[in-house]
Structure 1
């Protein structure tokens, strides 16, 4: 595991999970917590530009392009932070997990990301949106905010909606009483007026062109899936909760043979943990939890990484993408990309490989 190689994505013919990944100019690929967009025969990898020291965003969102997933050209900063004081994406804010999807109707590329305002720690828990007429950008920032203000989840019962919570009664976390309250929507109700929290996130476009924002919410305790409007720039107001109180983050989705699969991680900061996996016959659920899909040495800690995206390739192929976080220098966090196989029952299976060829 964690093979060291300069002949890995960026410059070569193989993908070397955990290796040193340089672009075609020999510079370290700085695109963390990212996702990949396929458009017009080319792959565009968007990710967090992380500094050598510290963790706030000093540059913005980077973009790299490739035709083979192995040789990556640096396209520059696709979304730059602002020098304007008080701007939502002011230099020094925190931009995480950027994802880009293409809207066929508007012919526009739409980027969503997790945003924390400068100097506010992680209390903002917002989603940010930016658009561009070209895949690599530059992207124009539109706005940031929380999810579906004033709206209840589709799968919250009438009884749960009617409960009036006194937050002073739930200052102590992890007690049986507190867990029960979280499951019934304690934090949904607390955040109802201003909207639901949105942190670690991904985007998913379904076969019918409908797009969804999938994110960790309710103090990172509960996953939510929110439908986007037809132009992909806002939430429609329709959303659900998944695994209340399960403490999941870093969601990544795929759809195969009519079944939706989602891989997530637990919440352990920068440290790796045992991944989780869920499935559903509809994006709206019901979602069922399964054992994680990883096999072999290091599987119990997701091979040292944390999920960020699942890339769908032609020929019913999928690639699991993850980050090996290096908190002492986040810029040099490494990447794990592995092919996803499926067992006889159709469940995803991910096996470590020191190197492999995408075969595009």
Structure 2
């Protein structure tokens, strides 16, 4: 059984601070693989780090799986590249990484980057960047449904946050499934997350307040096309999601009773607690989140046992 703190600055098996910022997590085989922004030297692109874990407490450094490219290229050291998320395509067996790819020190480019690898630990090769029908794309999340269909969630400042359905090979977008703004809120939600429990979809996101934290929100639907419920907070009002920005919610299925990731009864919330002047040492808030029957609730624990 692994005991976690409510807030952590994780170190890896080499004793270095794990660069798990903007984290994306998937389980492949018997390990969870986490992909993070390397932020040791500020906000510009320094590569994508990969770590693996059995319990979300001990982390094995798997290396930089998408390195920095040459100056002037899409993955050059002048770019802003964030939110690495990976899914395995059932059709091809390839691991596909999606990224928020932006400009050289600014947010003028606003594309989705697509990279592929043969294993969870890569290396990954960037194929291209895309904007579906010219829509901006900043913070992204990913979701794989029970039927193997893959989706990208993408924040588009002028219009809201999209759910995009991917092609069978996971390399292109084929449908704009839904695009939402918040309830009584001028924009969509960034840092978007999607999970599913027992046929109901739960969509989470953060309001647009830059590095500052806010009360993150969630909505539910029985169909990704909608209708979606009103957005509501999942932590006490004014708590600012316990000073974090939602990053990923990881299903922790009990396989001994036949649960899978779409029917799990336990979930792990991971959120960034950003330090703009020292991004590389920004902690993660890691808490159990209750999800079920159309409700989501995150409560604070100084420490807790995650059951792994």
The count of residues paired between Structure 1 and Structure 2 equals 295
Deviation at 1:247, TM superposition (A): 4.0
Show structure 2 runs of 5+ residues with no match: 255-263
Distance in 2 separating the partners of 1:356 and 1:136: 29
Contact 2:157-2:188 within 8 A present in 1 as well: no
Secondary structure of the corresponding residue to residue 5 of structure 2: coil
> Where is the strand percentage greater, Structure 1 or Structure 2?
2
Contact 1:275-1:300 within 8 A present in 2 as well: no
2:10 is aligned with 1:71: no
Compute the TM-score of the two structures, normalised by the length of structure 2: 0.91
| Counterpart in the other structure of 1:223 | 161
Describe how 1:154-165 pairs up with structure 2 within 5 A.
none
Compute the TM-score of the two structures, normalised by the length of structure 1: 0.78
| Counterpart in the other structure of 2:224 | 283
Distance in 2 separating the partners of 1:20 and 1:204: 26
| Counterpart in the other structure of 2:67 | 80
Specify which of 105, 111, 135 is matched with residue 97 of structure 2.
Answer: 111
Distance in 1 separating the partners of 2:131 and 2:31: 32
| Counterpart in the other structure of 1:18 | 7
Secondary structure of the corresponding residue to residue 289 of structure 1: coil
Distance in 1 separating the partners of 2:291 and 2:167: 32
Compute the RMSD of aligned alpha carbons: 1.7
Secondary structure of the corresponding residue to residue 22 of structure 1: coil
Secondary structure of the corresponding residue to residue 303 of structure 2: coil
Specify which of 259, 266, 280 is matched with residue 331 of structure 1.
Answer: 280
Contact 1:126-1:199 within 8 A present in 2 as well: yes
| Counterpart in the other structure of 2:140 | 201
Describe how 1:1-360 pairs up with structure 2 within 5 A.
13-52=2-41, 54-57=42-45, 59-83=46-70, 85-119=71-105, 121-147=106-132, 149=133, 195-219=134-158, 222-243=160-181, 245-295=186-236, 300-315=239-254, 316=264, 317-342=266-291, 345-360=293-308
| Counterpart in the other structure of 1:186 | none
Distance in 2 separating the partners of 1:65 and 1:290: 33
1:41-92 alpha-carbon deviations (Å, 9 max, x no partner): 011010111133x3111x2110001122211011110111201x43111122
* Structure (1 or 2) with the larger CA radius of gyration: 1
Distance in 2 separating the partners of 1:247 and 1:326: 24
